[in-house]
Amino acid sequence: MSRKISAVAFDLDGTLINSAKGLTEAIDLMLKTLEYPVAGFEKVSVWIGNGAINLVESALKDAGGESALSQFDEAYDLFNRFYADVLKKGSELYPGVRVTLTTLKEQGYRLAMITNKPSRFLPQLLKDLSLTSLFDLVLGADDVAARKPHPAPIYQTLGAFGLYREELLFVGDSRNDIESAKEAGVATVGLTYGYNFGRLISEENPTYVIDHFEELLSILEIQS
């Protein structure tokens, strides 16, 4: 007997929020402080998705080659400081996100967020975006044994909610999201508007592909 989906988990950057503007500003300020050329939006948007450590490493290597990684500790501290300053103005919800999440919550679905973003940024960001009350579980990069694309965050969510894998749906915009959920045996929704390292999300073969966030309700057969 097939089990009905009772919970939905979401990625954050490129799925719920457009954060590329703020991440680009923080990375470029970091590079300028270290006297490197700025990276710019197009490069940074391709690097998003593997977490802040990899983002900073990518920026350093692009600007100064492998030798620039010797400055990682200073660069990472600078990035965290600058990103904290631009977090609110550099992050905005994608169209349809708030109403869709609210509808899911009203319909009784449990909602989780699974992101590779450092956990320290999440409470204030969710508060600024008025999303805190919508999520039953929030897992940042520092809350899990291994980050996406490892399946550990999906398993942790299943355990926290007491669910079978067939009862959870995972929604994301990148191969890290799709791989993580697939490895855990969870159905996936891939969003076409996210970052996915410059690749089409359809190339990752998610269970479903949607262009607009509200289409998630149709997959779950919910009328808003």
Catalytic, 62? Answer no
Residue 11 marked as a ligand binder: yes
Contact (Cβ atoms closer than 8 angstroms) between residue 134 and residue 110: no
Q: Which of these is catalytic: 11, 143, 177, 211?
A: 11
| Residue 117 backbone dihedrals phi, psi, to 5 degrees | -70, 140
Cα–Cα distance list, 64 to 51, 54, 100, 211 (Å): 20, 15, 43, 37
Please state, in angstroms and rounded to a whole number, the distance separating the CA atoms of residues 120 and 108.
Answer: 28
Residue 136 marked as a ligand binder: no
User: Cβ of 73: how many Cβ atoms within 10 Å?
Assistant: 10
- Residue 101 tokens read as 């999440």
Q: Which residues are annotated as a binding site?
A: 11, 13, 173
Annotated binding-site members for Mg(2+):
11, 13, 173
Task: Please give the positions annotated as active site.
Answer: 11
